[in-house]
Chains A and B, each alone.
Chain A
């Protein structure tokens, strides 16, 4: 199936993502930030579909928008948000932080100007189907060792989170 209206969907999703990102870092209420982040993550999952990566898109929705964001929302409920709503949103050195961020942006623009000739204007045609199958073969074949290390990392993270959140160790 050839893609239809790629520029329209790309710019729509990119706009949703950037606006969502701006909402995440400017909203006073942490719950609003979390909801904006969920919208950003869903738009990104759609972009993964446009990049012929359906498995990563599914993982993005299930794990990120589902799992991690629910964790965030639970913690927001646990810590008090009423007090935080009355306080300053930004810290004292926000001006310095913003300047550093804009300097990084200038650096990105410089890299863009220098490096844009490397990339061809058109993308190669993506291969369809078999994506999940091929990824599974790679994960359990070539990337076996990193895969096992990732599972170990998750085990360590689970133990660490339980120990951290425990009342009395």
Chain B
């Protein structure tokens, strides 16, 4: 009980792992590409939580700087991913993952 009430780095890491897991399951099981992209955002956020928790654990700011870089990457990834999605929707009139088979033969 005492372990549960003293919030340590470990608690944040477990929460990050849970969110990462939810994101992975979302990527693997959903059909809608928009929701797959949102699941990727969940994964990136889990990593960010870990980075900031480790930054606090080690007493420095390097983890927070890294978290800001990850957020920048997430913004770039979302912009390009949604651009690709719009281009795809214009061609195939669908946003379903399993109908993305233009390169299949």
Which of A's residues lie within 8 Å of B, judged by CB? Answer: 6-7, 10, 14, 17-18, 21-22, 24-25, 30, 33-34, 37, 40-41, 44, 47-48, 51-53, 55-56, 59-60, 63-64, 67-68, 71-72, 75-76, 78-80, 83-84, 87-94, 96-98, 100-101, 104-105, 108, 112, 116, 119-124, 126-127, 131, 134-135, 138-139, 143, 146, 150, 153-154, 156-158, 160-165, 167
Q: Which residue of chain B is the closest to A14 with respect to CB atoms? A: B15
The answer to whether A21 touches B8 (Cβ under 8 A) is no
6 residue pairs bridging A and B, Cβ less than 8 Å apart: A60-B48, A79-B34, A80-B95, A98-B29, A161-B80, A165-B83
Known: A56-B52, A59-B71. Contact between A25 and B25, CB under 8 A?
yes
The answer to whether A10 touches B7 (Cβ under 8 A) is yes
Interface of B is mostly: helix
Q: Which residues of B contact A60 (CB under 8 A)?
A: 48, 71
The answer to whether A56 touches B68 (Cβ under 8 A) is yes
Q: Which of B36-74 contact A (CB under 8 A)?
A: 37-39, 41-42, 45, 48-49, 52-53, 55-57, 59, 61-62, 64-65, 67-69, 71-74
Number of interface residues of B (CB under 8 A): 75
Cα distance A169–B35 in the bound complex, in angstroms = 27
A28 to chain B, nearest CB (A): 9
Q: Which residues of A contact B87 (CB under 8 A)?
A: 164-165
The answer to whether B25 touches A87 (Cβ under 8 A) is no
Q: Which residues of A contact B53 (CB under 8 A)?
A: 51
Q: Which residues of A contact B90 (CB under 8 A)?
A: 167
